[in-house]
Amino acid sequence: MEIGRLCVKLAGRDSGRECLIVEDLGKGLVTIDGNTRRRKCNVRHLEFLPQIAKIKKGATHDEVITALKSLDIKIRDEFKAKHKTEKKEKPKEKKEGILSRVLGKKKEKPKSTPEKKHKK
């Protein structure tokens, strides 16, 4: 299991997608990245291909993407976009109470009563 070995994920949510070995963790575990989520993976869930990319141990996602491009692997936009975009804040909407969600009614504001002054 060399660093930079091209693999195809066989099991899990990312099955069928290409990745590179970024780090060897020992005991049959490696860290992968590429057209998959960057995570540790059991080697039994990978199919090793003969191509090897020249990357260093613990390479960043951008380095892995350029290495995959050099091996003529098509990059999926969903992972490229996830790592390069920043989170945008959505304007917060005013939440309604549980009564209005359940019954479809608007919650009425209680009428304010003038404070009574206590005489001693």
Per-residue pLDDT at 1: 76
- For residue 38, count other CB atoms closer than 10 A to its CB: 16
Tokens of 105: 């009614």
End-to-end alpha-carbon separation of the chain, Å?
88
| CATH architecture under which domain 5-84 falls | Roll (2.30)
Q: Residue 83: enclosing H or E segment and its boundaries?
A: helix 77-84
Instruction: Kindly list the domain boundaries of the chain, sorted by start residue.
Output: 5-84
Report yes or no: 5 and 59 within 8 Å, Cβ to Cβ: no
Per-residue pLDDT at 109: 64
Distance, in Å, from the CA atom of 22 to the CA atom of 108, rounded to the nearest integer, reads 59
- For residue 32, count other CB atoms closer than 10 A to its CB: 26
Mind listing the pLDDT tens digit of every residue in the chain (120 residues)?
Answer: 789 999 999 998 999 999 999 999 999 999 999 999 999 999 999 999 999 999 999 999 999 999 999 998 888 876 554 555 455 666 666 666 666 666 766 556 666 666 766 666
